[in-house]
């Protein structure tokens, strides 16, 4: 395709945030170009695909105006459904609560969202990388050639290493504690509880994060670790931790005996929260690019889509003159800002305890399943705050 010389809005990145932004902007009659460097939207996957069901999301993000694409998910995009969330403490004590959820086939889901954006009227340009941004011009290069395309508004939905956010000076990517490295394997031939998503804590397996098992249905599962480099042992990589978990964890390892690895998936998870500013001049950022993610569990699909919806609607509104671009800042924060910032605060309190397995086990023993569920939702019940603060104080 040859793009037009200019559009109202260019969206860079066709992940959940970008496709949602493009869809809502196009629905508001703006001319929209959605570009992605991938030649096949959604591939390779960088996700476990865990997504609480719609009713859970309404409780998780009560202030958010959820995109309809979070409600009407085609069956073909869902691997399986789970019901239980189980936490395993370092001392192997389990605790669980109910979270009805779907496990998405992220490749199919991302493609579905991009198609919805195209159906709404957005032009799609895949296999095309944004190389640089200068003023209202975006220089792109890819399978269709090299172009500089102009736009009134540029939306950066280009993920955790966002070029757009860096270009606009909106993010500090030197914050090592604000970035988790996630590595996961798709395994076939596992013997797991397919009703449950399990999260394992412990310094030997996932320093600064957790290890997980997410069923994909039948005997297939996604197992992974999310770790933070400053909390890791020197010279031990994410793969070393994942192999320790797979082959040595006393509770988990027996489930993987004889299983085969059918995919390797990795990526960065921005757990440091949103930057102070997410809009500057004609540039907005949303999704992982803007830290739209719940830091306590690393879940970013729903928050990315809410951020994308607000970005797309606000960009279109600014183009038609019904609002200003700067309205984006307070609009998305009103919807999901509290959950994101509280989850970062909770994560910081947990970081103190994660330095000691016995301390972490004690905290997990004292916190009730309902309170754990609240923490997973980016909330901090007062009794939990007291527990975490007193344990942290005792830890010195
Ligand atoms: C291993 C792993 C497991 C995870 N598991 C879960 C989970 O189970 N549940 C959950 O809710 N969240 C999970 N997450 C987080 C979730 O994947 C992200 O929060 C979510 O994908 C954010 O969506 P996004 O659209 O902001 O960014 P992305 O999905 O990263 O999309 C960004 C898009 O931008 C494109 N792009 C980047 N740079 C350019 C450029 N210069 N030019 C053109 N295109 C560009 C990329 O190709 C990509 O398609 C996980 C993350 C990782 C790394």
- The answer on pLDDT for 396 being more than 60 is no
Which pLDDT does position 393 carry in this prediction? 81
Q: Give the single-character DSSP code of 364.
A: H
Q: Are 230 and 379 in the same domain?
A: no
- The answer on pLDDT for 83 being more than 70 is yes
Of the residues 270, 287, 302, which one is the last residue of a structural domain? 270
Nearest CA to ligand 1 atom 38: 158
- The answer on pLDDT for 390 being more than 90 is no
Which pLDDT does position 319 carry in this prediction? 98
- The answer on pLDDT for 172 being more than 90 is no
Which pLDDT does position 318 carry in this prediction? 98
Per the CB < 8 A criterion, the answer to whether 99 and 85 are in contact is yes
- The answer on pLDDT for 388 being more than 60 is yes
Average pLDDT over residues 161-190: 90
Q: Domain for residue 1, yes or no? A: no
Give the CATH number of the domain where residue 146 resides: 3.50.50.60
Q: Are 306 and 384 in the same domain?
A: no
Q: What is the DSSP string of 26-90?
A: HHTT--EEEE-S-SSTT-S--S--EEE-HHHHHHHSTT----GGGTS--GGGEEEEEEEEEEE-T
Q: Are 161 and 286 in the same domain?
A: yes
Q: Domain tally for the chain?
A: 3
- The answer on pLDDT for 1 being more than 80 is no
Q: Domain for residue 349, yes or no? A: no
Which pLDDT does position 272 carry in this prediction? 93
Find out whether the beta carbon of 300 lies less than 6 Å from any atom of ligand 1.
Answer: yes
Of the residues 270, 301, 326, which one is the last residue of a structural domain? 270
Which pLDDT does position 3 carry in this prediction? 85
- Residue 47 or residue 32, greater confidence: 32
CA 396–ligand 1 middle distance (angstroms): 37
CA 226–ligand 1 middle distance (angstroms): 15
Which pLDDT does position 200 carry in this prediction? 97
Per-chain mean pLDDT for the chain: 94
Q: Are 125 and 62 in the same domain?
A: yes
Q: Are 127 and 171 in the same domain?
A: yes
Which pLDDT does position 92 carry in this prediction? 97
Find out whether the beta carbon of 15 lies less than 6 Å from any atom of ligand 1.
Answer: yes
Rounded CA-CA distance 173/196 in Å is 34
Q: Are 168 and 193 in the same domain?
A: no
CA 109–ligand 1 middle distance (angstroms): 12
CA 289–ligand 1 middle distance (angstroms): 9
Rounded CA-CA distance 296/98 in Å is 17
pLDDT tier at 2 (50, 70, 90 boundaries)? confident
Average pLDDT over residues 80-84: 96
- The answer on pLDDT for 320 being more than 90 is yes
Q: Domain for residue 265, yes or no? A: yes
Find out whether the beta carbon of 291 lies less than 6 Å from any atom of ligand 1.
Answer: no
CA 66–ligand 1 middle distance (angstroms): 19
Q: Per residue in 51-70, pLDDT tens?
A: 999 999 999 999 999 999 99
Q: Are 320 and 213 in the same domain?
A: no
- The answer on pLDDT for 377 being more than 90 is no
Domain range for 323 is 6-74+106-175+273-343
Which parts of the chain are beta strand (E)?
A: 6-12, 32-35, 50-52, 78-88, 94-104, 123-125, 128-134, 137-142, 145-156, 179-188, 196-200, 210-215, 220-227, 260-270, 279-280, 283-285
Q: Domain for residue 246, yes or no? A: yes
Q: Are 46 and 121 in the same domain?
A: yes
Q: At what angle do helices 338-354 and 382-395 cross, to 10 degrees?
A: 30
Q: Are 364 and 240 in the same domain?
A: no
Q: Are 25 and 53 in the same domain?
A: yes
- Whether the model clears a pTM of 0.85, i.e. scores above it, the answer is yes
- The answer on pLDDT for 324 being more than 80 is yes
Find out whether the beta carbon of 49 lies less than 6 Å from any atom of ligand 1.
Answer: yes
Q: Are 154 and 296 in the same domain?
A: yes
CA 13–ligand 1 middle distance (angstroms): 9
Find out whether the beta carbon of 290 lies less than 6 Å from any atom of ligand 1.
Answer: no
Q: Are 95 and 222 in the same domain?
A: yes
Which pLDDT does position 395 carry in this prediction? 62
């Amino acid at each position: 395709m040859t793009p037009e010389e200019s559009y109202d809005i260019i969206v860079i990145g066709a992940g959940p945030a970008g496709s949602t932004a493009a869809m809502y902007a196009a629905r508001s009659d703006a001319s929209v170009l959605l570009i992605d460097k991938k030649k096949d939207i959604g591939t390779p996957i960088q996700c476990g695909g865990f997504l609480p069901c719609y009713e859970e999301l309404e409780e998780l993000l009560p202030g958010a105006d959820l995109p309809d694409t979070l409600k009407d998910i085609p069956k073909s995009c869902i691997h399986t459904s789970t019901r239980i969330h189980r936490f395993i403490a370092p001392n192997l004590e389990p605790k669980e609560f109910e979270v009805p959820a779907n496990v998405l086939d992220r490749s199919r889901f991302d493609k579905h969202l991009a198609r919805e954006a195209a159906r709404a009227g957005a032009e799609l340009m895949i296999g095309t990388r944004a190389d640089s941004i200068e003023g209202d011009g975006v220089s792109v290069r890819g399978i269709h050639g090299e172009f500089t395309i102009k736009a009134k508004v540029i939306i950066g939905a280009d993920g955790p290493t966002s070029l757009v956010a860096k270009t606009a000076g909106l993010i500090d990517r030197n914050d090592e504690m604000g970035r988790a490295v996630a590595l996961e394997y798709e395994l076939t031939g596992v013997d797991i509880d397919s009703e449950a998503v399990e999260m394992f804590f412990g310094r030997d397996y996932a320093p600064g994060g957790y290890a997980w098992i997410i069923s994909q249905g039948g005997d297939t599962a996604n197992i992974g670790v999310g770790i933070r480099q400053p909390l890791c042992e020197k010279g031990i990589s994410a793969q070393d931790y994942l192999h320790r978990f797979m082959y040595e964890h006393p509770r988990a390892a027996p489930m993987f005996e004889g299983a085969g690895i059918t995919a390797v998936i990795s990526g960065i998870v921005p757990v440091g929260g949103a930057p102070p500013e997410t809009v500057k001049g004609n540039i907005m950022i949303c999704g992982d690019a803007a830290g739209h993610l719940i830091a306590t569990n690393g879940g970013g699909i729903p928050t990315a889509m809410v951020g994308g919806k607000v970005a797309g609607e606000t960009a279109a509104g600014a183009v038609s003159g019904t609002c200003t671009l700067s309205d984006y800042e307070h609009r998305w924060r009103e919807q999901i800002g509290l959950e994101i910032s509280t989850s970062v605060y909770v994560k910081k309190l947990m970081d103190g305890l994660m330095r000691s397995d016995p301390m972490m086990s004690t905290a997990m023993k004292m916190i009730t399943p309902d309170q754990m569920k609240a923490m997973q939702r980016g909330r901090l019940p007062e009794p939990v705050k007291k527990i975490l603060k007193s344990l942290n104080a005792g830890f010195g």
